[in-house]
Amino acid sequence: MSKVTADSAVGKAFLVALTRRDYQALGACFAAEGTLRGIVPPGLREADGRDAIVERFRLWTNDIEEYAIADSEAAPFADMLRLRWVVQGVDPEIGLNAYEQTAYAEVADGVIARMRLACSGHRPL
């Protein structure tokens, strides 16, 4: 693996894929052996490998009605990439809501090798 960088190109591609719920394109943003560690209500979620990471994002986003990314950004932070996005949509149980996720990604060879993520949880709007 090459030197870890704060390559914002892959971050922007990740956010576009997430906005479109294009899980194939989202997967292309991660290394085959990438890792995801997320603190989300109700606790720790981990995924090892590209397919498991894509499945985790699919579980978080696929069933949201009127799905939209209301805000997002990708910016370097030291030798990492900081990603932030706000998902807005309708949940059948809680109605219109939003959640924010912030992630720190280690990029190697142009793809995300490791991502650490924190989530606000669903907040009513």
4 — phi, psi (to 5°)? -70, 135
- In a structure prediction context, what are the per-residue pLDDT tens digits for the chain, which is 125 residues long? 345 556 789 999 999 999 999 999 999 999 999 999 999 998 999 999 999 999 999 999 998 999 999 999 999 999 999 999 999 999 888 899 999 999 999 999 999 999 999 999 999 99
> Which is it for the CA torsion 93, 121, 119, 98, positive or negative?
positive
53-56: which pairs have CB atoms within 8 A and are 24 or more residues apart?
A: 53/27, 53/115, 54/23, 54/26, 54/27, 54/30
pLDDT score at 93: 84
Cβ neighbours around 105 below 10 Å, total: 27
> What architecture is domain 8-124?
Roll (3.10)
Give the pTM. Answer: 0.92
Task: Name the one residue in this structure whose structure tokens are 């696929």.
Answer: 62
